[in-house]
Amino acid sequence: MSRSFSGVLTRPAPAAVLGGLLLILGLMLATPAAHAADNDFSATFTGRTIGEADMDDGGSVAVTEAGASLRYRWFGIDYLNRRYDWSDTASLPFGNGSDPWEQLHMLRLRADIAEQLGFGGLGWFAGAGLTAGWEEEMDDAWGLSGSVGLTWAVGGVRLRGGVAASAHPVGTRLLPLVAADWGNQRDLGFSATVGFPETMLRYRSSDMFSFRAGGRVEGNTYRLADDSPVQREGYMRTSSLTLGGYIDITPLEDLTLTVGAEYLTRQEMRVYNSDGDERNTYDLDDAPALFLRLSYGF
């Protein structure tokens, strides 16, 4: 497999899908700004501490995350920093007795839009993004992503269905996007989103307090350092199923503080060489986490 994007994007089927998604994005960006007039600027800051998780082959790791997100109308930019605290490195299945890595970075540029078709409760959504995950060097760390689908509002339920595609030096991925939304999370009472990759149940007791519980599938791919003791110029993909309970506190109309307790299960690390070929898979035990988020829109 070629390490460059050319080797990834020349694969016929995924490339055709991704090309179509990017074409849709181009048409989307040509849409007059009036279509996004209801959207505004928002800033979000997040923090998360993930407890120590043992690796099956020995050693353990804890993670601390800090991130920020800015969004204006259809465009957004996200940054996430993950700092790793390794224990018993001599027993780890990789790293040659040293810390495999100290921190990883993730940067995302994205654009999303959703519109109604004007008949039968039908609508559509589309999005595209450029992502980089890296340890030290950003070259060969970039990936492309896109999504497209339809929505249908019927009987108080909003159904969503579509597909998400991504292309990266470690390969291409196609994932379904399926969800059903009940109610409005801004209204008092119950509301819910059931689907993939996220399911969330909500109860708003007042304008200030809202309670949520659910789960989501998470995963990111990072380009390792040129001199990485794990895989020189290679890649590492993390994945997990995150379950959590959250309290949203809204003291002002546009200001929300979220505190939550999470539980990460099915944690996994996959290591790839510089050509994007998978070398090893490592499992981690489950771990608890504490989550904090501050959002402000205007």
- What percent of the chain clears pLDDT 90, i.e. is strictly above it? 82
**Alpha-carbon dihedral of residues 231, 235, 236, 237, nearest 10 degrees?**
-160
Q: What is the DSSP letter of 27?
A: H
Determine the Cα–Cα distance for residues 225 and 92; give it in Å rounded to an integer.
18
Tell me, what's the pLDDT at 156? 87
User: Among 14-28, 53-67, 103-117, which stretch is predicted with the lowest mean pLDDT?
Assistant: 14-28
Q: Which band of pLDDT confidence, cut at 50, 70 and 90, is reported for residue 28?
A: very low
Q: Which band of pLDDT confidence, cut at 50, 70 and 90, is reported for residue 49?
A: very high
Determine the Cα–Cα distance for residues 85 and 64; give it in Å rounded to an integer.
8
Q: What are the angstrom distances between the C-alpha of 122 and each of 111, 161, 164, 177, 211?
A: 21, 12, 20, 16, 30
Compute the average pLDDT of residues 233-253: 97
Tell me, what's the pLDDT at 80? 99
Q: Per residue in 144-183, pLDDT tens?
A: 999 999 999 998 899 999 999 999 999 999 999 999 999 9
Contact 256, 250 (CB under 8 A): yes
Q: Which band of pLDDT confidence, cut at 50, 70 and 90, is reported for residue 20?
A: very low
Q: Per-domain residue ranges for the chain?
A: 5-40+115-297
Enclosing H/E stretch for 212: strand 209-223
Average of per-residue pLDDT values in the chain: 89
Q: Per residue in 131-148, pLDDT tens?
A: 999 999 999 999 999 999
Asked whether residue 27 carries a pLDDT value surpassing 80, the answer given is: no
Q: Which of 193, 175, 170, 150 is nearest to 276 (CA)?
A: 170
Tell me, what's the pLDDT at 115? 94
Q: Per residue in 104-126, pLDDT tens?
A: 999 999 999 999 998 889 999 99
Q: How far is CA 106 from the centre of its chain?
A: 10
The per-residue DSSP string of 122-159 comes to: EEEEEEEEEEEEESS--TT-EEEEEEEEEEEEETTEEE
User: At residue 74, what are phi and psi to the nearest 5 degrees?
Assistant: -90, -5
Tell me, what's the pLDDT at 118? 83
